[in-house]
A and B are shown apart, each in its own frame.
Chain A
Amino acid sequence: MKSQNERKRTFLLIAIPILLLFFAFNTVPLIRGFIYSFTNFRGYGSFDWVGLRNYVDLFTDTRVGNSYWFTFKLALVATILINILSLIMALALNSKIRFKSFLRGMYFIPNILGALVVGYIFSYIFTYILPAITHAASMLASRTWAWLAIVIVCAWQSIAMNTLIYISGLQTVPEDVYEAAALDGATGWNRFRYITFPLIMPFFTINMVLCMKNNLMVFDQIMALTKGGPAQSTESISYLIYNNGMNGGQFGFQSANAVIFFIVIVVISILQLRFLNKKEEQL
């Protein structure tokens, strides 16, 4: 009993200061931003209270509506693509391959290259190299295909990170589990389906959530590749919030956009977490 109390107290002593720190530098500024969403503040100088006007505008603004559609379409496709590919990559890089360190190192490079480099190189590939091979117009100039080009670049950059997380997840699978499985005759797909995957399910959850979050907040790739074009077809929500809120004079309005966006992704992610946590328990 005494040790139970000691345990509780230790956990509280750990959790409370950390929660306070988090509150001070995440929640407090968020609340301030929330307050600004009721103003026409431009970030500095004087401002007026405008009540719910920003929120009313938000629901009638087709540009915001389009950015939601674009962002979710992109996030869904990219998340699925990235998770499948990085799971395959992790299994491959974790198997008994030659040049393991070299290959792991090389496949990590896309994640370190800065946005300017990635933007320039991929613009070049999409504008000059791919059209030269396929004899089709540049994907980046097409309203139908530009979003797919962004999916490709997002995937190229973020597979490394998700692979890393899967690899560290694979380390928690003890070797003897595989040996036992081998004795039972489980190999290949069956071994993955019934043994490996259930064991790394928590990492699948983490990757789904992180990946979804990263893709929903896509910004760098847009700035580097299309700047929202062609014909405003690739304006993501974060792009609008940053560009019009910081660079433009719409800080108040975009704060309202950010608040709604925040609520939407929190709801999606918590549903995702709960669903996947339930799955984990079933396995």
Chain B
Amino acid sequence: MRRSIFILAFLLCLVSSAFAAPIEIELVQYKPEAFRTFDSLAEKFNATHKNIHLKISSPNEPMTILKTRFIRDNYPDIIGIGGDMDFSNFQDAGLLADVSGYKGLEKIKPAYIDIINGLKFVPTPGVFGVPYMANAAGILYNKDIFDSHGWKIPETWSDFIKLCDDIKAAGILPMYFGFKDTWTTLAPWNALAVDLVRADVCQEVNLGNATFAKEYREVAEKIYSILKYAEPGPFAYGYNDACTAFARGESAMYVIGNYAIPQILSVNPTMNIDSFVMPGREDSNAHTLNSGVDIMFCVMEACPNKDAAYEVIDFLLDPENIQSYVNDQNSVPCQIGNFNLTPMLNGMRKYIDAGKMADYHDHHYPSEMAVDAQIQTYLLHGDINAFLAKFDTDWVRYNRDIIEKLKKYNASHK
């Protein structure tokens, strides 16, 4: 009995070495809405690669799934996640591999590499993800309404306010907010903040070189000042209400990102949408587009076949595959090159091409601090001093471990 098992095992070894099984690479990506695109990419990959078998899964509730898998020490080889706090935490927990040696990084726009490097709590050396697609936020507008009234895209803050006044005077609601869902308050907040405030403000505050009370005052004043151009009582309506209202032509503009386009089009599939950058300042040449990494590929530290993982990423970065992803998802590619983008991003195109962009500020806020809810509270009360003071005190409390780590790191790297 025992001998026969031994022989069997020996035979199995022989067989498996003769027909080397392909290396299995598992990629878990966090955008379930893009599952079809990823499924067809995986199919195409497996048809052309014999040595590697790629399995892509696009689960619902992806972050919960990933975190619970990490608890069990069950790691995929590559994860496709967004450039936000989860990435910072995964990186800080040492789960992600440094991919700075990966060749494909050279083709990625430096602005996006800077964005994901800026997300690290502590400026440790290395690059921990390959940015794939970006999103862009600012103002979406109803092109038909604009064209029929001859309104132009505003270049400065005072142009923007004048435009709002004109729209209001024409008996149209300038914009619709869905502030019942607190996270939507971050859309105008981020759009103004990237234009008005330095991108590394959170790190500077962590180092004690700046205060939010000073840095964010103008942002807070300006976001409050546009409330009067929205529907009355915007705190009663949610994101979904706002998408529906904008889609039905109830407002001329909607301060949100390109990620809202599918929901808007589901209500009104033939809507003519375009976009522009929120002009937060008066200097029309100095605006910055609010753009973040929508999805990047991170190779896990635990991945045993990093070269195979790179081969998969090479395939995904192939311009042809990027273009098909962009066509399906209306995204903005992070790779350098001439891609066809959706016409709905025409108004933002020159910023995208020039790489004049900065990350969403809230990607640096700890989610448990609930900055979105604090902005909502401020917009309800209007007490700017209380809001900014609380921002600074809460910040220190929710970030103290990070601040300590950062100080320690800086002390040892002087």
Interface locus among A1-9, A200-208, A245-253: A245-253
Please name all residues of chain B whose beta carbon is closer than 8 Å to the beta carbon of A123 when the two chains form the complex: 180, 238
Instruction: Mark interface residues in A113-124 (1 if CB within 8 Å of B CB, else 0).
Output: 000000000010
Cβ contact of A44, chosen from B70, B366, B368, cutoff 8 A: B70
Please name all residues of chain B whose beta carbon is closer than 8 Å to the beta carbon of A43 when the two chains form the complex: 67, 70-71
Per the 8 Å Cβ criterion, residues 83-125 of A in contact with B are 123
Please name all residues of chain A whose beta carbon is closer than 8 Å to the beta carbon of B235 when the two chains form the complex: 141, 229-230
Interface locus among B90-98, B139-147, B148-156, B316-324: B90-98
Say whether B93 contacts A42, CB under 8 Å.
yes
Q: Is the interface of A mostly helix, strand, loop or mixed?
A: loop
Nearest opposing residue in chain A for B379, CB measure: A231
The 8 closest A-B pairs by CB, nearest first: A45-B93, A248-B368, A138-B236, A141-B236, A244-B368, A231-B377, A44-B70, A141-B235
Residue picked from B92, B182, B368, most chain A C-beta under 10 Å: B368
Nearest opposing residue in chain B for A126, CB measure: B236
B250 contacts partner chain A, Cβ-Cβ < 8 Å: no
A158 contacts partner chain B, Cβ-Cβ < 8 Å: no
Per the 8 Å Cβ criterion, residues 209-238 of A in contact with B are 226-232
Bound CA span A44–B74, Å: 12
A35 contacts partner chain B, Cβ-Cβ < 8 Å: no
Say whether A231 contacts B373, CB under 8 Å.
yes
Per the 8 Å Cβ criterion, residues 75-125 of B in contact with A are 85, 89-90, 92-95
Per the 8 Å Cβ criterion, residues 344-402 of B in contact with A are 366-368, 370, 373-374, 376-377, 380-381, 397, 401
Bound CA span A244–B366, Å: 9
Bound CA span A127–B380, Å: 17
Cβ contact of B380, chosen from A46, A231, A247, A249, cutoff 8 A: A231
Say whether B67 contacts A230, CB under 8 Å.
no
A143 contacts partner chain B, Cβ-Cβ < 8 Å: yes
Please name all residues of chain A whose beta carbon is closer than 8 Å to the beta carbon of B92 when the two chains form the complex: 45
Cβ contact of A229, chosen from B85, B93, B373, cutoff 8 A: B373
Say whether B94 contacts A45, CB under 8 Å.
yes
- Chain A, interface size: which category? 20 to 34
Cβ contact of B95, chosen from A44, A48, A138, A249, cutoff 8 A: A44
* Chain B interface residues (CB < 8 Å from chain A): 63-64, 67, 70-71, 85, 89-90, 92-95, 180-182, 233, 235-238, 241, 366-368, 370, 373-374, 376-377, 380-381, 397, 401
Known: A40-B401, A43-B67. A229 touches B233 (CB 8 A): no
Additional pairs, 17, CB under 8 Å, beyond known A232-B374, A246-B67: A40-B401, A43-B71, A44-B70, A44-B93, A45-B70, A45-B95, A48-B401, A127-B241, A140-B236, A231-B373, A231-B377, A231-B381, A243-B367, A247-B63, A248-B368, A249-B367, A249-B368
A137 contacts partner chain B, Cβ-Cβ < 8 Å: yes
Residue picked from A57, A131, A247, most chain B C-beta under 10 Å: A247
Nearest CB in chain A: distance from B28 CB, A: 15
Bound CA span A230–B374, Å: 10
Nearest CB in chain A: distance from B79 CB, A: 13
Please name all residues of chain A whose beta carbon is closer than 8 Å to the beta carbon of B181 when the two chains form the complex: 227
Per the 8 Å Cβ criterion, residues 23-58 of A in contact with B are 40, 42-46, 48, 57
Q: Is the interface of B mostly helix, strand, loop or mixed?
A: helix
Please name all residues of chain A whose beta carbon is closer than 8 Å to the beta carbon of B85 when the two chains form the complex: 249
Nearest CB in chain A: distance from B230 CB, A: 13
Please name all residues of chain A whose beta carbon is closer than 8 Å to the beta carbon of B70 when the two chains form the complex: 43-45
Instruction: Mark interface residues in A234-275 (1 if CB within 8 Å of B CB, else 0).
Output: 000000000110111110000000000000000000000000
Say whether B233 contacts A46, CB under 8 Å.
no
Known: A127-B236, A231-B376. A46 touches B368 (CB 8 A): no
Bound CA span A137–B237, Å: 11
Say whether A228 contacts B93, CB under 8 Å.
no
Nearest opposing residue in chain B for A48, CB measure: B401
Nearest opposing residue in chain B for A250, CB measure: B368
Say whether A227 contacts B182, CB under 8 Å.
yes
Please name all residues of chain A whose beta carbon is closer than 8 Å to the beta carbon of B182 when the two chains form the complex: 227-229
Say whether B366 contacts A141, CB under 8 Å.
no
Bound CA span A227–B241, Å: 16
Say whether A46 contacts B94, CB under 8 Å.
yes
Cβ contact of A230, chosen from B95, B241, B370, B376, cutoff 8 A: B376
Say whether B180 contacts A140, CB under 8 Å.
yes
Please name all residues of chain A whose beta carbon is closer than 8 Å to the beta carbon of B377 when the two chains form the complex: 230-232
Per the 8 Å Cβ criterion, residues 6-28 of A in contact with B are none
Please name all residues of chain B whose beta carbon is closer than 8 Å to the beta carbon of A229 when the two chains form the complex: 180, 182, 235, 373, 376
Say whether A249 contacts B89, CB under 8 Å.
yes
Nearest opposing residue in chain A for B70, CB measure: A44
Say whether B380 contacts A230, CB under 8 Å.
yes
Say whether A247 contacts B373, CB under 8 Å.
no
Bound CA span A59–B138, Å: 40
Nearest CB in chain A: distance from B401 CB, A: 6
Nearest opposing residue in chain B for A42, CB measure: B89
Bound CA span A143–B377, Å: 10
Nearest opposing residue in chain A for B394, CB measure: A63
Nearest CB in chain A: distance from B382 CB, A: 12
Nearest CB in chain B: distance from A82 CB, A: 26
Bound CA span A244–B180, Å: 19
Say whether A138 contacts B233, CB under 8 Å.
yes
A-B pairs with beta carbons under 8 Å apart, 8 shown: A44-B71, A45-B92, A45-B94, A138-B236, A230-B376, A248-B367, A248-B368, A249-B368
Bound CA span A131–B71, Å: 47
Nearest opposing residue in chain B for A232, CB measure: B373
Nearest CB in chain A: distance from B283 CB, A: 35
